[in-house]
Structure 1
Amino acid sequence: MNTKLRRRPLALLCLLAMSAPAVAAAPPTPEAEKFEQMQAELDSRIGDPQFDFAYASAALDAGKPSDAIIALQRVLALQPDNAPARAELARAYAMTGDLDTAKQQFETVVGDPTIPDPVRQRFNNLIKAYDNATRGGGDSVNGYVDLQLGHDSNINSATALNSITIPLFGWLGPGQLGPQSRAISDTTIDFTAGISGSHGISRGNRIYGSALASWRDNRDSRAFDQQSLTLTGGYAHTLPSRNVVSISLQGQNFGLGGHSVRNVIGAIGQFTQVLSATSAWSTSLQYMDLNYITPGVPDARRYALASGISTATWNLGGQLGRERTKDRSADADSFTFYGLNAGWQVPLGARDLLYADAAWENRRHLDDNFMFLKERKDSRVDLGVGYKHQFTPRWLLTARASWARNSSNIDLYDFRRTMISAGIRYEF
C-alpha cells in the first residue's frame, strides 16, 4: 500500500473528529441581555421577594438554573407558600438534571388548593413525565410495513460489457461474459417490515431491541431474489448532560435466490452528543464478523468508524474502515474504505415531504487480483430523491428514484445502476 493511500483515511479521520460544529461568537439573546441587566441590580435589591422571583425567571430563560435556584430559595425562605416560586424552583431543578427534587417540588405545588385546575393538570402531567424519566424513559414500541413496486436497471450490480480481456489469459483475447455476469434489468417487488422497542430499567438506563426483515422478488431473475433478517439488541445510558452512550449486538442473515449465503454478527458502540432540541452529533465504532456459506468466498472481519451531524432537516457524516479476510492468502478480497454521506428533507405542506440523499465511498484492495494482475480500486457514488405523502396518520404513499455509479480500474466491477419505485407504507 503506498504512502498516499495511507494518508487519505488519516485525513478523513481528522475530518470526522472535527465534525462537531465549531462554536462561533454569537450576539447575546434578548433573554441573556435581560438577565445581565437584572444582575446589575442584584446587589442593591437582593432579598426583595418580587425582584428575586423576576431575577430567577430571567435566569431560567437565559439557561442559568443554578442562579435561579439560589434566588428562588431566598423567595421561599420569606414566602414558603408561594406556589409560583416553588413551581419555578421545580423547573430549575429539572434543568440541572435533578429530577427527584424537581418532582418533589411539583408535588408540593399540586397540593396547594389555590392552584387552578388547568395549572394543576399541567403539573400532574409533568410529575408523570419525571416519573417516566426516572424509570429510564418508560416503554415504547413502534414499527412499520412497506411494500414497493419498481424497476431496477442492474439487479446484480454487474458490468454492461459483453466481453472483457483477462490479463492472466490475455493470449486468448477477449472472453465473452455469461448472462449472469452482465447487467440484468428487471421489475421488482420489495417488502420490508421492522419493529423496535425499548424498556427503561432505571434512571437514565434502558435496553432496546429491533428486528428488520426484507425480501426482494425479481420478476424474471429468481437467482438474484434477496432476503435478509437483522436482529439488534443493546443498552443505552443517558448522562446528566442528555448525551447518550450505547452499545449493541447485531446479527444478520442474508440470502440470494432463497438460499442463505452470509451470516454476520457484530457489535456497535456509539456516543451521541445532543447539540439542541433538534440536532445531535454521533460517533460510532463498529465490528462485524462476516461468515460466508457460499463456497469459495472467504470469511472476513470488518472494522469501521463513523461520525456525523443530524438535524431536523439535514444530516452529514463520514466513515472509514477496513474489511480483512481471515485467510491472508485472499487479501485481494480485503480492502480499506472511506466515504461521505449527506441527506436533506423539506416539508411541502402538512402531509407531503421531499427528500434527497447522496453518498460517496472509495475502496482500495490490499493485494493484486489473481486474474487481473493488479489491485482493485473502486469509487462509488449514490444519488437519490424521494417523496412521501401521508394520507392518514399511519399510512403513507412513497416514491423514490436513485442512481449509482461504481467506477473501477477492473472492467468486471465497473457498472451503473438506476432504480425507481413507488408503494405504500404503514407505520405504528
Structure 2
Amino acid sequence: MRRMLHRLSFVGQRYLRCFAVGVAMVSTSAWSAVDTATLERAEAMLKEGKAEEVYQILEPLEVSGAGDLIFDYLLGTAALETGKYSKATFIYERILAVDPTYVGVRADMGRAYYGLGDFARAKIEFETVLTLQTLPPDLRSQVELYVKAIAERAEGKRTIFTAYLELGLGHDTNIGSSTAARSLILPLATGPFTYIPLPPTGRRTADTYTTVGTGGEVNHQLDERWSLVAGGDVRWRGYETYHDPNNWSADGRAGVAYSSGAWQLRGGVTGGTYYYQGERLIDNAGVNLDWRLAVGSADQVTAGTSLVQRRYVADASSTEDTDTYSGNLGWLTSLDGGTAIFSLSASGGVENAIEGRGEGDKRFFGPRIFVQKSFTPTIGAYVTVGATHSAFEEENTLYLKERREMLYDLGLGVTWSVAKGMSLRPQLSYVKNRSNAELYSYKKGDASVNLRMDF
C-alpha cells in the first residue's frame, strides 16, 4: 500500500499540486488568517520533503487558519505525507466545500482514502480527476492504471497483470551502422592495406523496416512494503530489401522491490537471447540494483548499478565475450505547472574483455538530457539527447593505436493517445559516432511510426 501511495505522490502530485496551490494563492492570500511568512516557509519545507516538521508547525494554528485555502492545503498535504490519512480527508473536505473543482485536492483525497483502506471512495476521487479534459496524457494513463489497481485491491487482488503490443514501420539510413567510405587504407603491421567495405552491412546502406514487439509484466504485492515483479519482451525487426540484418530478441526480468516512505529500492535479475540472420548469436544475463527518492512534490533522484554478461554462442566469436559493470545517477523534476518534465542523468562503466578481445577492456561514460511536454490531453512530445565517450585499453591491430570514440545521439517524438490504451508515436533519431579509427566512424538517421496498445 505504501508503495502505491509513493507512486501516486510523485507521479500524480507533481502535476496537480502546483495547480491547486496556485489557485489557492490567487484566491485567498488577501484574507489569510496565518501570516504569509509562515505559509511560505511551510510550502518551501514541503518541497524539501519535511512534511512532519510542517505538520508540527501548522497543526497548532488550525483553529485560526481553518478555512484559509492556502493553510488548509498545506496542512492537509503535511498530514497526508506523514500518514495521518483521516486528518487529511477532514481538511480536504473543507477545501472542496469551498470549491469542488480543485483537481489536485481531489487526487490527494483519493490518496488519503487509499491510505485508510477505503478503496471505493478512493476510486471515485480518481475517476473524478480523469474527467478533467486538460489532464496531460501521460498523467491520464498513469491515473487510469492506479484506478485499475485500486479496483483490483478493493476486490482482494494483490496481483496485477499488464501487457502491450507494438507495431512499427520505419526507414533506417544506415542499417549496419557502417562507414560511408568506399575504400580505406589500413596501416597494418605488415604494411598499408586497401580495404573495400561491402554493402549492405559493411558500407552505409539504407532500407525500410517493419517491427513487432510484445511483452507483459506481473506485479505481486506481498505487504505494504514488499512486492515482487516479473516480465518479458519479444521484439523482431525485418528489412524490406536486405534481409541480412534481420533480427529478433527475447528478454526476461524478475525482481523484488522495497518501499519506505519517499524512497524505493529495487533489485533483480535479467536474461535474454539475440538472433541475427536467423541464428542465435548472443546470450546475456545480468543483475541490477536501483534506488529512487522523491524529494518534495516535484523532484526525484535516482541511482543504480548493474552487471551484464554477454556471451557469444559460436566458439569462433567467444573472444568477444564481455562483462559490463555500469552505474548511473539521475535527477527529474516537473515544470510549467506539471505539464513538462526535465531529466538529467549520467552513466559510466567498464566493459571487461574476459576472453582476450584484441582491443582489451573498454571504459565509457556520458550524460543524457530528457524533456517531455504535454500540449493537450491527448498529445505530448519528447526530446532526448546524449553523448558517450569510449576508450579501449589495447592497441587496435588494424590502425596500430588505441581506439577512442565519441557517440552522439538525438531523439524526438510525438505521442498521440488516439483511444484508451492505444497511442500512435511518430519519432526521429540521429546517431553520429566519431572514432580515431576511420573504419568505425558512421552516421545514421531513423524515422518511424509506432502503434502501441496497452492492456
Q: Same fold (TM over 0.5)?
A: yes
Aligned to 1:391, what secondary structure does the other structure show? strand
2:229 is matched with which residue: 208, 211, 225?
Answer: 208
Which residue is 1:222 aligned to? 243
Q: CA deviation at 1:406?
A: 0.3
Q: Once the 2 structures are TM-superposed, how far is the Cα of residue 225 of structure 1 from its aligned partner?
A: 0.8
Report if aligned partners of 2:187, 2:193 keep a CA contact under 8 Å in 1.
no
Alpha-carbon distance in structure 2 between the residues aligned to 1:283 and 1:205: 20
Q: Which residue of 2 aligns with 1:302?
A: 324
Residue of structure 2 equivalent to 1:61 = 76
RMSD: 4.2
Name which of 367, 391, 406 aligns with 1:364: 391
In 2 relative to 1, CA 152–54 (structure 1 residues): closer, same or farther, beyond 3 Å? closer
Q: Is the 8 A contact 2:404 2:435 kept in 1?
A: yes
Q: Report the equivalent of 1:318.
A: 346
1:154 equivalent among 166, 174, 178:
174
Match of 1:147, as an amino acid? Answer: L
2:188 aligned partner = 168
What are the Cα deviations for residues 159-206 of structure 1, in whole angstroms up to 9, with x where unaligned? 001111111167454222233311121111111112112100122100
Unaligned runs of 5+ in 2: 1-36, 44-53, 95-107, 126-146, 335-340
Tell me, what secondary structure is at the counterpart of 2:320? Answer: coil
For 1:252 and 1:293, the matched residues in 2 are separated by 13
Aligned-partner residue type, residue 364 of structure 1 = A
Contact 2:221 2:227 in 1 (8 A): yes
Aligned residue among 270, 278, 289 for 2:309: 289
Partner amino acid for 1:167?
A: P
Runs ≥4 residues deviating over 4 A: 33-42, 50-59, 64-69, 97-103, 128-133
SS in structure 2 of the partner of residue 167 of structure 1: strand
- Rounded to whole Å, the distance in 2 between the matches of 1:172 and 1:35 is 76
TM-score in terms of structure 1 length:
0.72
Question: Is the CA contact 1:404–1:416 (under 8 Å) kept in the aligned structure 2?
Answer: yes
Q: Which deviations, in whole Å up to 9, do the C-alpha atoms of 1:57-109 show, x marking residues without a partner?
A: 6883362689997xx8xxxxxxxxxx969x99xxxxx99x9999956xx89xx
| 8 Å CA contact 2:80, 2:112 repeated in 1 | no
Number of residue-to-residue matches in the alignment: 362
| Counterpart Cα distance in 2 of 1:416 and 1:394 | 35
Partner of 1:346: 373
Counterparts of residues 78-93 of structure 1 (less than 5 Å): none
Q: Is the 8 A contact 1:331 1:365 kept in 2?
A: no
Task: Give the match's secondary structure for 1:224.
Answer: coil
Q: CA deviation at 1:418?
A: 0.5
Structure showing greater relative contact order (alpha-carbon pairs closer than 8 Å, 6 or more residues apart): 2
Alignment counterpart, residue 402 of structure 1, candidates 429, 439, 443: 429
Distance in 2, Cα, partners of 1:101 & 1:359: 40
Counterpart AA for 1:149: L
